[in-house]
Amino acid sequence: MPIALYALTAGAFGIGVTEFVIMGLLIQVAADLGVTIAGAGLLISGYALGVVVGAPLLTAATGHWPRKRVLIGLMAIFTLGNALCALAPSYGLLMAARVLTAFAHGTFFGVGSVVATGLVKPDRKASAIAVMFTGLTVANILGVPFGTWLGLELGWRATFWAVALVGLVALAVIALAVPMDRAAPEAGDWRADVRAMARRPVLLGLATTVLGYAGVFAVFTYVAPILTGITGFGEAAVSPILLVFGGGLIVGNLVGGRLADWNLSAAVLGSLAVLALVLGLMTFGVHDKVAAIVFVGLLGAGAFATVAPLQMWVLDKAEGAGQSLASSFNIAAFNLGNALGAWAGGAVIDHGPGLAALPLVAALAPVLGLGIAVVAMRLEGQRRALASTAC
């Protein structure tokens, strides 16, 4: 893999840290800014909505820029946003700074996916996307625990200063390592990009992404209560067990990329089926400590095994025009799935069968996603058959 690809990985690492590190600092942020824990938790929701809104808007606005210029600009926004988070004197300004930072998230991964696939041979495109997304997995394993520790030791603002520094380093690495575009994208008609993005196969791919990740986050959001309240672990054991989840993320991410290079359709269907199976069996595994640890790792692997195949699928169905926009929308779809999954998981706990049944209920989401993917592939097959007959 070319060194430029690892420059994108560095940017993904910084973005991953700033998205998730706030989870470990909610108590400190709430106490410092005089808000409730629930209010501080909205900083996570605000970030996710910022990704959903910002990804298509920024991608459309910068669609005619050279992609390297876009990536550098996005890392500048990311760095500025984290610096403003560190300086924010009030909850409202911290929320605004988080949303500003989130605007860079979706477009970076959307445009970065397109750049990554252009850096390698055609049979390594999905693996290239997986390598870039490895930055997110490493952020969960190393960056988030370190950022949480730093915030507890030196105050939560120190964590955001540290992430801003990571942003500066990533910006410099991207500027040095990512090659300039051979030809800048034409200042095309944004309506044509939207039409390409709105093709039925792309929309079905986006729906599949939302459902797959809704299932993941319906469980992962409440993994600590599951481990302590059902499995019987103490609170101190949760963090080490989450390292197993992080290890699963790395393995699943790289395996998913290789499988997608081998057979994209099989990788999409297979990864969703495995994810649904893991969630369903996890319902029974969480009652045993050893099995629970194993299933936390398998959940991480199953979750990120879907990332490269789903991202590559949407890129493939966009067919050139509107690829960056479609790719960014898919990143927004992942985050929309996160938000819906967390909400649905809470509803199952408060108004449904309860915490113990959460993994089984969550498995229904990737099953629905799998059904949509099967329908999409059959429709695409029928379209191609008609096209070949007409020829």
Tell me how far apart the alpha carbons of residues 59 and 57 are, in angstroms, rounded to a whole number: 5
Domains and CATH numbers, the chain: 1-178 (1.20.1250.20), 188-391 (1.20.1250.20)
Which of 61-75, 153-167, 245-259, 375-389 is least confident?
A: 375-389
- Contact by Cβ (8 Å): 62, 70: yes
**Cβ neighbour number for residue 366 with a 10 Å cutoff:** 30
Identity of the residue numbered 16: G
Mean pLDDT of 144-169: 87
> Which tens digits make up the pLDDT trace of 87-146?
999 999 999 999 888 888 878 887 887 788 777 787 777 778 778 878 877 887 777 778
Mean pLDDT of 197-202: 74
Task: Write the DSSP assignment of 292-326 as a string of letters.
Answer: HHHHHHHHHHHHHHTHHHHHHHHHHHH-STTHHHH
pLDDT at 186: 53
Burial of 305 (0-12, 13-18, 19+ CB in 10 A): buried
Tell me how far apart the alpha carbons of residues 77 and 80 are, in angstroms, rounded to a whole number: 5
Q: Which residues contact 206 (CB under 8 A, 6 or more apart)?
A: 314, 329, 330, 333
- Global pTM reads 0.75
